[in-house]
Amino acid sequence: MDKPSPLGQFEQLVLTAILSLGDDAYGVTIHARAEELMRPRRCQLGAVYATLDRMEEKGLVVSRLSEPTAQRGGRKRRLYRLSPRGEEALGDSAAVARRVCEVVEEHWGEQQWKPA
Amino acid sequence: MEAGLSSGPPRALERAVLWMVPPLVREEIAGDFWERYRSPLQYLADAAKALPYIVLSQARRATQMPLFLLLALTILAAHGGLEPDRGTVAGVPIALRALVATLAVLAALMLRNAYRPSEAWSAVRAIGDVVWLLIALLASQAALALLASAGLLDPSWRLPLGWLVGGFAFYSVVMLLLRAELEAVDPGVRERSQDVAAGIASLRRGLRLRLVFETAALGVLAAASGGYALFSSPVVALVAGLWAVVTLALIAWRLRRAGRQPTAECRAAFIAELTRQRDAGRAAWWWYFVPLFAGLAWNTIAFGVGAAQPAIAVVGSGACALLAAMIVQLGIWRKRKLGERIAELESL
């Protein structure tokens, strides 16, 4: 399979949220974690659904339905996890982000650059 | 447990909201909305903000862009969107009326795609799509009539009956053919069956239906071009009609031969059949559009040259080129999808 295309910023956030949530990654928790990652900005729950849908189609994540739970009115969760292709794409993005951070730190130093 | 159950939204409110959520994602979205529920107002606000994303995402997921653009151009042309203004029709130009009808039909198609009950292809669904489009088309015309009767719009915005019925007959057949051609081999990401026997049975059904649709199209196209020949440009109708009849007959004959070949219900046979489909270089849809190519060439290129209006001829040539490009893209897309399906089966 060919190399995954570079991720958009929101896709990176959603993939990172899924990675950090482990086995508990579904719509509500992914949205909450993505908002944590992108604070002080907010994101729409609908945008998370749309991004998950698109990334599943691109083969970056895979999903399955869980057992129904009473806490959700007897509804199932759609649980997501990264596919190998998604892991590769996120790894590439993280490597680029790391290089960007290094260059910014090198030029601005810690005095000027204080990431939140 | 009980506490969780009692903290959900009022039943009527939940029903109303979930009715608007596309069926394919209703289960998980319903659960997510329930989990976030704090008050009826917050529930409604959550739904109102998320629903447009969900519906658009589902519509996008179910819409194959080359197919959609091809259908858009076909619908526009079939309703007279590329018909030059010959001064024979009073009021709003046919092209503008066709554009309104086309937009209504395309919006209906996207909605229908978003609210599909399953990702698997079925003939019943394809026929349902056609009925749905007919309803949307008639509703758009009824809405125009209502606006006209209220004095808000020129009454001539409605399509003439001939363009309405003839156009719909043409693209509904083309749509059925393309769907049978393309979607029967692509049941979608979530529902791709790991059950090989079910998969091959589904493929066989799809191929049989394709044969039925193509053979039916033979009759419809022959009748349509015959009727067209009686009332309008006989040269175009004769060329398009005869071409379609002969080529569709050849396709039907070839498919019938292929259908007789025995296939065992096993993975190897499934892969072999998919590989055969992929390698066949099947380009039948070129012939589905013969009447459209003929119409475009006659109405735009020939008209533009004849009436010394080069701009129309250029637009016509562009439309023909676009149509051809979409057909080529469709072929590439279909081949890729079949390749993916083969690789998926081989990896099981």
Residue B145 has which token pair?
A: 């009539």
> Cβ of A50 and B34 within 8 Å?
no
Separation CA B182–CA B204 (nearest Å): 13
Q: Which residue of A has its CA nearest to B26?
A: A75
What's the distance, CA B17 to chain centroid? Answer: 28
The predicted structure's pLDDT at residue B185: 53
Q: Which candidate from A50, A57, A77 shows the least CB-CB separation from B28?
A: A77
The predicted structure's pLDDT at residue B16: 93
Q: Where are the alpha helices (DSSP H) in chain B?
A: 2-6, 11-19, 23-36, 40-62, 65-78, 94-114, 123-149, 161-182, 196-231, 234-260, 267-279, 285-288, 290-296, 303-306, 310-346
The predicted structure's pLDDT at residue B254: 58
The predicted structure's pLDDT at residue B161: 86
Lowest mean pLDDT among A24-33, B83-92, B192-201, B227-236: B192-201
> Cβ of B27 and A71 within 8 Å?
no
Lowest mean pLDDT among A98-112, B260-274, B318-332: B260-274
**Region B290-312: what's the mean pLDDT?**
83
Which helix (DSSP H) or strand (DSSP E) does residue B334 occupy?
A: helix B310-346
Q: Give the minimum alpha-carbon distance from A99 to chain B in angstroms, rounded to a whole number.
A: 33
| One-letter identity of residue B153 | L
pLDDT of B87 > 70? The answer is: no
Which of B40-44, B195-199, B247-251, B308-312 is most confident? B40-44
Separation CA B275–CA B282 (nearest Å): 12
Residue B343 has which token pair?
A: 């690789």
Which site among B1, B53, B189 would you substitute to test the A interface, given the most A Cβ atoms closer than 10 Å to its Cβ? B53
Q: Which candidate from B14, B50, B56 shows the least CB-CB separation from A45?
A: B50
> Cβ of B28 and A76 within 8 Å?
yes
Residue B176 has which token pair?
A: 């059925």
**Region B336-347: what's the mean pLDDT?**
78
pLDDT of A91 > 60? The answer is: yes
Residue B139 has which token pair?
A: 């509703």
Percent of chain B with pLDDT over 70: 70
Mean pLDDT of chain B: 78
* Sequence spans of domains, chain B: 1-56, 64-183+195-346
CATH of range A9-112; options 1.10.3720.10, 3.40.50.2300, 1.10.10.10, 3.90.110.10 = 1.10.10.10
Phi, psi (degrees; rounded to nearest 5) at A81: -145, 160
> Cβ of B50 and A70 within 8 Å?
no
Residue corresponding to tokens 């950090």: A20
Which site among B27, B61, B65, B341 would you substitute to test the A interface, given the most A Cβ atoms closer than 10 Å to its Cβ? B27
pLDDT in tens, B38-68: 999 999 999 999 999 999 999 998 887 878 8
Q: Give the minimum alpha-carbon distance from A29 to chain B in angstroms, rounded to a whole number.
A: 9
The predicted structure's pLDDT at residue B245: 65
Mean pLDDT of chain A: 89
The predicted structure's pLDDT at residue B3: 41
Phi, psi (degrees; rounded to nearest 5) at A58: -80, 0
Residue corresponding to tokens 């079939």: B78
Spell out the residues 6+ positions from residue A110 whose beta carbon is closer than 8 angstroms to its own: none
Residue B18 has which token pair?
A: 């979930």
Q: Which candidate from B28, B35, B53 shows the least CB-CB separation from A71?
A: B35
Residues A23/A79, Cβ–Cβ less than 8 Å: yes
What's the distance, CA B191 to chain centroid? Answer: 20
| One-letter identity of residue B317 | S
Q: Which residue of A has its CA nearest to B37?
A: A72
Residues 14-73 in B contacting A (C-alpha not used; CB under 8 Å): 14, 25, 27-32, 34-36, 46, 49-54, 56-58, 60-61
What's the distance, CA A60 to chain centroid? Answer: 10
Residue corresponding to tokens 């066989």: B204
pLDDT of B263 > 50? The answer is: no
The predicted structure's pLDDT at residue B316: 84
pLDDT of B260 > 50? The answer is: no
Lowest mean pLDDT among B2-6, B155-159, B266-270, B301-305: B2-6
> Where does the pLDDT of residue B99 fall: very low under 50, low under 70, confident under 90, or very high at 90 and above?
very high
Lowest mean pLDDT among A58-62, B119-123, B340-344: B119-123
Lowest mean pLDDT among A1-15, A17-31, B92-106: A1-15
Q: Which residue of B has its CA nearest to A56?
A: B189
Q: Which residue of B has its CA nearest to A49?
A: B54
Which site among A66, A71, A80, A83 would you substitute to test the B interface, given the most B Cβ atoms closer than 10 Å to its Cβ? A71
Measured between beta carbons, which residues in chain B are less than 8 angstroms from residue A60?
Answer: none
pLDDT of B285 > 80? The answer is: no
Query: pTM for the full model?
Result: 0.72
> Cβ of A49 and B30 within 8 Å?
no
Residue corresponding to tokens 């009609």: B241
* Sequence spans of domains, chain A: 9-112
pLDDT in tens, B220-233: 666 766 666 666 66
